[in-house]
Amino acid sequence: MSVVDDVRSRRFGTAGLVAVAAVVVAAIATVAFGVPLARIVTPGYVARSIQLAAPITLAAVGGLYAEKSGVFNIGLEGFMIFGAFFAAAGTYFVGVDGAVGAWAGIAISVVLTTVLTVLFAVLLIRYKANQIVAGLGVWFVGLGLAPFTASIIWGSRNSPRMPGVGRLTIPGLSEIPYLGRIVFDQSPLVWLTAIIVLASWAVLYRTKYGYWIQAAGENPEALDTAGIDVNRVRYAAVIFSGAMAGLGGAVLLAHSSSFIGTGQTMVDNRGWLGIVAYLFGNYNPLGAAAAALLFGGVDMLQGQLQTINIDVSPKLLGLLPYVVVIVVLTGWGKTRVPSSVGEPYESEE
């Protein structure tokens, strides 16, 4: 179990370091340059950042399960695009207005994305497809077919306005200054994401299924010897990853107003950030969520800086997460990749 212990002892390592760095930078900015921090980090800003982080978190949690089991699902971006599109189409065809319609869309989206992921998993596991190339293929199929189908349905690559899920306001608690707005007056999907993160952490590190998943990626022969079907474990993990990416796309849609299929689509590289978030969080769901929060915060920062008249080009500020990713991979690049990632497993019979 030394491998598992090693991973767990470093579980918050990278994400923790970056969180500390972020606080230090913020403190320097406040003290040395007189940046009015209180006007940037408003409760509304934090609440919105968390909402933006939720889809990235979900994709990251799914992706780390797949990779822990030994399959690199590089198609998260594509599955998120499908997720967002299916949610919009689902809501549209159910035709119920209000939160019920939005929830129906989310449910339909998760089911349909899961079906697509089953096909993908068969291609990867049964037919031993090259995981990286097939994952890129999924991205392209998503980038092409989601806007294509949107054009067929709505006559435009963008959908009409869709209902959202609203906020879950807890009376009394939501009156707490600062924290009330952030935690107790929040989108129910943020709560759902938090529950999924905690549950997936518990399953991965506290149950035998979690150990099976880790063993499938670290030492598949041993798992096979123990009488567990390695490929079944991998199927489960890959299908879970697609379902989570689909849910991530659906959450993204529910937090905005309509499906956007132009350019990089509304997903706009969040699936890629999901992959980076779990590498960054060293394959730990909690670390991945922390990293996703960082990306969400940076994403929201630009509008926030404009409100206090600091004019930064949105194009340049938008590059910040990508630069952070490269710096992190370089500085703390020694993320311990599960040793059998990318290798199809064939039982010796």
Shortest separation between residue 264's beta carbon and other proteins, angstroms: 8
Binding residue for other proteins, selected from 12, 205, 209, 322, defined by CB under 8 A: 322
123 is an interface residue for other proteins by CB under 8 A: yes
154 is an interface residue for other proteins by CB under 8 A: no
Shortest separation between residue 150's beta carbon and other proteins, angstroms: 8
Shortest separation between residue 202's beta carbon and other proteins, angstroms: 25
- Three-state SS letters, the chain: CHHHHHHHHCCCHHHHHHHHHHHHHHHHHHHHHCCCHHHHCCHHHHHHHHHHHHHHHHHHHHHHHHHHCCCCCCCHHHHHHHHHHHHHHHHHHHCCCCHHHHHHHHHHHHHHHHHHHHHHHHHHHHCCCCHHHHHHHHHHHHHHHHHHHHHHHHCCCCCCCCCCCCCEECCCHHHCCCHHHHHCEECHHHHHHHHHHHHHHHHHHHCHHHHHHHHHHHCHHHHHHCCCCHHHHHHHHHHHHHHHHHHHHHHHHHHCCCCCCCCCCCCCCHHHHHHHHHHHCCCCHHHHHHHHHHHHHHHHHHHHHHHCCCCCCHHHHCCHHHHHHHHHHHHCCCCCCCCCCCCCCCCCC
Closer to other proteins by CB, 171 or 330: give it: 330
130 is an interface residue for other proteins by CB under 8 A: yes
Shortest separation between residue 232's beta carbon and other proteins, angstroms: 19
Closer to other proteins by CB, 148 or 191: give it: 148
145 is an interface residue for other proteins by CB under 8 A: yes
32 is an interface residue for other proteins by CB under 8 A: no
Judged by the rule CB under 8 A, the positions of this chain that interact with other proteins are 3, 74, 78, 123, 127-134, 136-145, 147-148, 151-152, 157, 261, 263, 269, 272, 275-276, 279, 313, 315-316, 318-319, 322-323, 325-326, 329-331, 333-334, 336-343
